[in-house]
């Protein structure tokens, strides 16, 4: 094959490549770009509609749903802050939770009730004995039982086998009426 034939073949291949590239660009790429822009515009329109619908729902809440949510919040507040201290019911529940956790209650010393800032509170000192995991389970159950309980201090010491003996000082609260 001569140099002239090789140049001719190269020219034909280059021209075919150029024609194929132009055909791809005009027949496939440009229509796909137009379709993509149309879909992006549709997506932007749908996002705008969703934002407007969300703003409308926030501006016009469902009264029944709002009343239900308000009732649930009130029920949780009433559970956390009852109208009476009800120390005996709390201590009965505390004793039950101690037995479930494997903690031995050695003594219970309720304090005097104090009032202020719309709440009445009473301190309770619990003397306990148990291993670390039982004590942690017990403390967790005190905090999770629904009523607001503030654990103020845990004092004591562990013996050689890991049994903790000490006191837990906590506060229980009620709404002042």
Residue 87's pLDDT is what? 84
Query: Which of these, 130, 101, 115, lies nearest to 171 by C-alpha position?
Result: 115
Q: Is 136 inside a domain boundary?
A: yes
Q: Domain range holding 6? A: 1-60
101 in a domain, yes or no? yes
Q: What is the pLDDT of residues 131-170, one digit of tens each?
A: 988 999 998 888 877 778 888 888 999 888 888 999 999 9
DSSP string across 82-133? -SS--HHHHHHHHHHHHHHHT-EEEEEEEEEEEEETTEEEEEEEEEEEEEHH
Over residues 87-134, the pLDDT tens digits come to 888 888 889 999 999 999 999 888 888 888 778 888 899 999 999 889
Q: What is the rounded CA–CA span in Å between residue 167 and residue 157?
A: 10
* 93 shares a domain with 7: no
> Residue 19, SS3?
helix
Question: Whole-structure pTM over 0.75, yes or no?
Answer: no
**Are 176 and 119 contacting, i.e. CB atoms less than 8 angstroms apart?**
yes
């Amino acid at each position: 094959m001569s140099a002239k034939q090789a140049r001719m073949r190269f020219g034909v291949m280059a021209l075919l490549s150029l024609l194929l590239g132009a055909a791809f660009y005009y027949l496939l790429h440009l229509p796909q770009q137009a379709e993509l822009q149309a879909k992006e515009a549709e997506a932007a329109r749908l996002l705008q509609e969703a934002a407007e619908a969300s703003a409308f729902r926030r501006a016009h809440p469902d009264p029944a749903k709002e009343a239900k949510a308000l009732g649930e919040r009130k029920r949780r507040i009433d559970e956390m802050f009852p109208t009476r201290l009800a120390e005996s019911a709390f201590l009965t529940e505390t004793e039950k939770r101690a037995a479930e956790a494997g903690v031995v209650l050695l003594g219970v010393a309720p304090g005097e009730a104090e009032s202020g800032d719309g709440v009445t509170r009473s301190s309770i000192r619990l003397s306990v004995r148990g291993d670390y995991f039982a004590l942690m389970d017990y403390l967790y159950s005190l905090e999770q039982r629904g009523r607001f309980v503030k654990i103020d201090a845990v004092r004591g010491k562990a013996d050689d086998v890991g049994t903790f003996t000490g006191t837990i000082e906590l506060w229980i609260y009620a709404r002042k009426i």
